[in-house]
Chain A
Amino acid sequence: MRAEARPQAPFGRRPCEVADSRASGGYHIFTLIDSEGPAPAPGQFYMLAAAPEWGGEGGRPYLPRAISYARVAENLTGGLRLDFLIDEVGPGTSRLARMEPGDSCHLTGPFGSRFSLPRELNPEAAGAILVGGGIGIAPMAVLRRELVDRGIPSRSLLGFRDQAHSGGVDELFGCDSTRLAFEDGSSGHKGYVTDLLLQLLEGDDASSAAVYSCGPPAMLEAVRQICLQREIPVELALESPMACGYGACFGCAVPKADGGYLRLCIDGPVVRGEEIATAMAGEPSVG
């Protein structure tokens, strides 16, 4: 079983109606109706900009924001319902979180590479281990649903700083096969999600594992090192400052293991652990 090729994005940005917008834990979830685009593939992302008042107060936000989708469903009256999970960390994400139903949001995409299936990463793979941190649980939720649909077993390990930064879990994951870690010990394991990964790999036959991860750069680099040291195939969904999403700006440079840089928007955002020199280079600059 192989994952299909990445879907092709319609040329140009398109206005999408905001169908829903709600707080979730410490995060925010909003829903856009995309009547034009193809169904995205797990790991892909969109460039988003609220249509009115983008670039309002103080001239920021100016650039669209690269956001992975957290869920996709058919819309009853046509098109797709795309859910996005965001944390308000700057003027762009704050503006997106303030959008209300009926508002319009510019959307371009879907962009970027998709996650491979476990057997593509590791012919011996018995299932998948998904490691998500903070807002990075969104692509993990999408991948988990795809694996469920394909009948492939997966376990999800999700880590958060504290309850104020922990939205979307119930809505996006349900409670099956999901283990939580909170750095402040307020729920689940007290500590890092990588602690849970290490426990799981000790108990498992590491040779049958395939690991997927998305989250803050330090967490991704820890996951990458854990997997590389044990020769476990790992795919990471990275984030980087990015102006365009389609290979034009060359801003989203991530150092490759063999020298030079890849463009995260078209060569990623999903990369193999051994492809890159470090996961620490990627970091959202603009919020």
Chain B
Amino acid sequence: MDLSTEICGIELTGPVLNGSGTFDVLAARRVFGDALVEEFPFDCYVSKTITMNPRPGNPPYRLWETPSGMINSIGLPGPGLEGFLERDLAGLAELGVPLIVSVMADCAEDFEVLVRRVAARDEVAGIELNVSCPNVHSGLIVGEQPSETEALMKALRPITGKPLIVKLTPNVANPEEVALGAEAGGADAVSMINTVKAAAIDPGDNRTWLGVGAGGLSGPAVRPIALAQVRVVAAAVEIPVVGMGGISDAESALEFILAGARVVAVGTENFRDPRAGSAVTSGLPAALARRGFGSLAEAQSARLD
């Protein structure tokens, strides 16, 4: 069955991406060798979030297992923009699939630098904007405010003709309003959901478990929340939706397509199986056929009753 598709003009061999920050290809290549590239599990690779300056990440503990999921508070460790462009980007360009680079900043000025520098590189097909950081000027988390999101997009849109994808947070009452703000500002797509705010209590001590107190929940535990939000957002905007949140197999991936996502991303499941993306892809034809679809495109254009 033909699974090829596209997302805002980026041609894809299939609809399966990875969630940003859930698959470090440079580390995985050290561990698994060239098999990682030869059998690359995704149709498009989304980098972990790049920031202006290097970041060490949050103090431990960073992980907590929950029923059907996990909480993380990793804190975006990374080499910073220069380190990424000089050292990491070349390795990400060897994968043979389109590359989307995720960026985050705490002000529009830094966002502009990140987008300009990253978009200028031929290896980069598109940019995902991680807007779950507070704006240093307003103190507001950009992605929680439709107006802030629209204003940021309006500032970034003139910089590049490459696709700009806004990663939406689920931690708002009305995600479709933020999505509409992104669309009005010129976004080419939205991806959703980011993790759900969550905390855990240390079983052996009267304190929070995670080093910074709270984090984000992911895995199948959040899938129903993600499906509801994807459905609402896909109905509200014209631009395509990258759907994610607890996808663990082809069936759950197809649920997101039916909820209105054009393509999907596998995140936490990668931790359980490094080839989870391939497992989703290989199961899609049967999952589509079981629901009566003759192609991926049929499912993408189907609407739920």
Contact = CB atoms under 8 A, between A and B. Distances in A.
Q: A and B: real partners?
A: yes
Interface of A: 8-13, 49, 55, 58-64, 106, 108, 111, 240-244, 246-255, 259-261, 263, 266, 281, 283, 285-286
Which 7 A/B pairs are nearest by Cβ-Cβ distance? A247-B27, A59-B67, A12-B275, A251-B63, A59-B68, A244-B271, A243-B271
Nearest to B30: A266
A240 B56 CA distance: 17
Contacts of B26: 247
B264 to A, nearest CB: 18
Contact of A248 (B22, B57, B66, B209): B22
Nearest to A109: B31
A8 B61 CA distance: 28
B5 interface: no
Contacts of A243: 63, 70, 72, 268, 271-272
Contacts, number: 136
Contact of B27 (A49, A61, A248): A248
A60 B249 CA distance: 18
Interface in B223-276: 268, 270-275
27 contacts: A11-B33, A11-B35, A12-B274, A12-B275, A12-B278, A13-B272, A13-B274, A55-B68, A59-B68, A59-B221, A60-B65, A62-B66, A63-B70, A63-B271, A64-B271, A241-B60, A241-B62, A242-B63, A243-B70, A244-B271, A247-B28, A248-B22, A249-B63, A249-B72, A250-B62, A250-B72, A253-B58
Given A12-B274, A49-B272, A60-B67, A249 B30 contact: no
Contacts of B68: 55, 59-60, 62
B77 A261 contact: yes
A127 B221 CA distance: 51
Contact of A251 (B23, B67, B74, B272): B74
Instruction: Count chain B CB atoms within 10 A of each CB in A10, A11, A243 and give the residue with the most.
Output: A11
Given A62-B69, A251-B63, A285-B65, 16 more contacts: A10-B32, A11-B274, A12-B275, A13-B275, A61-B65, A106-B273, A243-B271, A244-B270, A244-B272, A244-B274, A247-B30, A248-B22, A248-B23, A248-B274, A251-B74, A254-B60
Contacts of A13: 272-275
Contacts of A61: 65
Interface in B4-52: 21-24, 26-28, 30-33, 35-36, 39
Nearest to B74: A250
Contacts of A255: 59-60
Nearest to A91: B65
B84 interface: no
Interface string B212-223: 000000010100
Contacts of A106: 273
Contacts of B61: 241, 283, 285
B64 interface: yes
